[in-house]
Amino acid sequence: MKKIKLAITGCLGRMGQQLIKSSKNDKDFKIVALTENRIISKKISGIDLELNTIDAFKKANVIVDFTIPRCTLQVLKIASKLGKRVVIGTTGFSNREESLIKKFSKKIPILKAGNMSLGVNLLMYLTEITSKSLGNNFLTKVYEVHHKYKKDHPSGTALMLGRGIAEGKNKNFYNLIGKKYLNKKTFPYGEKINFNSIRKGNVIGEHEVSFSSGKEIVTLNHESFDRALYSEGALSASKWLMKKKPGLYSMRDLLDFK
């Protein structure tokens, strides 16, 4: 099997560095490009750091992007011109930006996930089933914890889980978004989905979805201990995407949850 030529954006970030490490340990990949959003005179494993340009990405089969929304859209614009596949782990997109990603997916294969972990995607699946089963008699909330350097809140995973609640109720997610709290010790359930984000220490990721009828509570949760979960998931997504036609895919498609 030919090695998959990989471009990694945001290569100096936490996930960028983890992706480099994981791809070096996977014989199916060869890193051909490492990019950042500013000019940096540096080499990593003999590869010069570049800006996001056509020249940087032209040799790649797949671009893996864990950056910020503005950068991701820039990468997608270039990738669509070159016909390159893109795996997106970036979070914090607006509704308008989500629509732009859908437009790009008509030209190129894109796999986008708020979280690349098998366990979290199983949690998303179980959240949908629970929400559908419990119906409108249960109020909901989503709790998440990440390291103190994480800027966006709620996390992409928390929003993904909120979307799972909405899909279970067969309702529009954006109409169900409730209050967004930051660093609160306690926060209420709501008819809409309330979120509480904790930023502290070096926590990799904790997520919890709760349903309450006032008489009983159902809780689903997941905790991450190793960032390699996400980089290895992104590499699995890259392999899977190699055989796909243009379209917008998710980890759920890869894992074939029904």
DSSP string, 77-141: HHHHHHT-EEEE------HHHHHHHHHHTTTSEEEE-S---HHHHHHHHHHHHHHHHHGGGSEEE
Give the pair of three-digit tokens for residue 138.
Answer: 């249960």
Torsional class of 134: left (φ above 0), alpha (ψ -120 to 50), beta (otherwise): alpha
Active site residue 103: no
Instruction: Indicate the residue type of 54.
Output: I
Instruction: Indicate the residue type of 16.
Output: G
Q: What is the largest CA-CA distance in the chain?
A: 61
Q: Enumerate residues 6+ apart whose C-beta is below 8 A from 59.
A: 5, 7, 32, 33
From the list 5, 30, 132, 150, the catalytic residue is 150
From the list 84, 146, 153, 207, the catalytic residue is 146
State the pairing for strand pair 205-212/217-224: antiparallel
Active site residue 150: yes
Q: Which residues are catalytic?
A: 146, 150
